[in-house]
Structures are given as C-alpha cells and as structure tokens.
Amino acid sequence: MTQRYQIWVAYDGSAFAGWQVQPEKRTVQGELERAIRKLTGETVKLHGSGRTDQGVHARGQSAHFDLSRDWGLINLRRGINTYLPPDIRVLNAQQQTPHFHARRSAVSKEYRYFIWNAENLPPDLRHARAHIRRPLNVDAMRKACEALIGRHDFAAFTANPNRFVESTVRHVMALQVRKSGPEIVIIAKSDGFLYKMVRSLVGFLIRVGEGDLAPEEAGAILKSGLRTAVVPTAPPQGLFLWKVNYGRGATYVRNQH
C-alpha cells in the first residue's frame, strides 16, 4: 500500500517561474519533485494547494504526494531539505489518508501582501516588499475593503487564466489593511482565489490609497463584472501565500523537532 504525505513548504519565489512545473524553467514544484526523487528513489507527482505566479512567495504552501513505503516524518522532512536549494524549505510533514487532497480538501486560504510605503526601500527587502513612494491613505483603503468582503462575483478582479473557470464567484471572508511604520500589510482570506485576484484587489486598494479612486467605487466595479485598466495588477514580490486551512487532521503545525 502507498502512503500519502502532506508537506508544508516555504519559499522565496524571486528566482522561480512560479509553482507549476514548466519545460526548461526553474519551478518550485520541479525542485521539490527532484529532491523527493533523490531521497526516496521514487518519481512522484506533487499536488499543491494552488499555483503561485513568478516572483510570488509562500510561508505556508501545502502539497501532497504518495510513496510506496512508510517514512519517518522527521527523516522525510530533513531528507528532502538536504536536496533542496536554500530558497525552498519543507517546514513540516505529516501522514494523510488516501482521500486527502492538498487543493480539494482546503476550506480557505490566506494571502498577505506587503507594501513598503516610504521614499526608500531597504535593499534587503527588495524581493519581499512592493515599493510605493506616494503616501497611502490607509483609512480610505480600509473603507474600500468593506464592499469587497462577502460572496461576490469577482470577474472584475481577475485576469484571463487561459483555461476554463466554472465560476468567478468567491467568498472573501476577510480583507484587512494593517500599518506599522512604513510597512502596510493587506490580508486576504477566501474560500478560493481566482487567477491574479489578490494582486488585483491590492492594485485597486493602492489606487484608492493614493487618492486616484474613491473607496465607494469598489461596489460599482464589482457589479460591472468587467476587468478594465481601472484595476491594475500589483507587482508579485510583495505577495505571500501565508496559510492554507483544512478541517481537522490537516492543520499546520510548526516545525517538528
């Protein structure tokens, strides 16, 4: 019998062409599958909770794969990390039932987008913060969030994924704007996100914060169902897949010792 494993992965997406395996390109999925093969001698298909784009990071990406024999969890995690480059790390591993699926079993995801709102961006943060020089009105951004929370058709806040999408309706459970000094964090939690939806929401909120759009325009844009240049796509380097939430039995636990 095969054993299904779930792993929790963090990565710096700066040097990757995204999560999904692509011919002749360096991807997170490709590096992980290669490391698992070197450790176990088995060729596995890694299933992630979702795809992240080029330049997007993760603190809590979830994925699963099957092996033909049982491995000790600590040895599995440490062994995979031995064969990984330093910009990817497996934070935790656990056994799962055969019915568990990293994407289909997820009940919600949380993304966080980090903005450095000051004249100068510290060089060590250049790959992990979006740099916005114009002062942002956080109160206006928070007001705009109010109309975007709930179950809506987010067609106006997505890009064409070049694949069939059954529905553009999503339930945004939380959309918050936090500020600490020059750092602004936008937290988005939903039962699912459309292609480039988080970066589109952030792009809109940045325009509101800069005073180019009124917070009240959020509702009208939602109702239009049309993606226009009014909603820009924020740059990828500020975005982190922060957490994937499951039911009981698949809850993320910090590093095993």
Band of pLDDT at residue 1, cut at 50, 70 and 90: confident
pLDDT at 96: 96
| pTM assigned to the model | 0.93
Least Cα distance to 4 among 80, 100, 89, 74 occurs for: 100
Band of pLDDT at residue 248, cut at 50, 70 and 90: low
Tens digit of pLDDT for each residue in 68-104? 998 999 999 999 999 999 999 999 999 999 999 999 9
The Cα–Cα gap between 180 and 159 comes to 31
| Catalytic residue (choose from 53, 87, 124, 191) | 53
- Which residues touch 152 (CB under 8 Å, ≥6 apart)? 169, 170, 172, 222
The Cα–Cα gap between 114 and 39 comes to 35
Tens digit of pLDDT for each residue in 122-177? 999 999 999 999 999 999 999 999 999 999 999 999 987 767 678 999 999 999 99
Inter-axis angle of helices 28-40 and 73-82, nearest 10: 120
Tens digit of pLDDT for each residue in 209-245? 999 999 999 999 999 999 999 999 999 999 999 999 9
The Cα–Cα gap between 219 and 197 comes to 16
Whether residue 257 is predicted with pLDDT greater than 70 in this model: the reply is: no
Strands (E), the chain: 3-11, 47-48, 57-67, 88-96, 108-116, 130-131, 150-153, 169-180, 183-190, 239-245
pLDDT at 162: 67
Whether residue 253 is predicted with pLDDT greater than 50 in this model: the reply is: no
53 as an active site residue: the answer is yes
Specify whether the CB–CB gap between 101 and 47 falls below 8 A. yes
pLDDT at 204: 98
The DSSP bridge partners found for residue 66 are 4
pLDDT at 247: 77
The Cα–Cα gap between 123 and 58 comes to 20
The Cα–Cα gap between 36 and 17 comes to 20
pLDDT at 256: 38
Domains along the sequence of the chain with CATH:
3-105 (3.30.70.580), 108-242 (3.30.70.660)
Run of H or E residues at 53? none
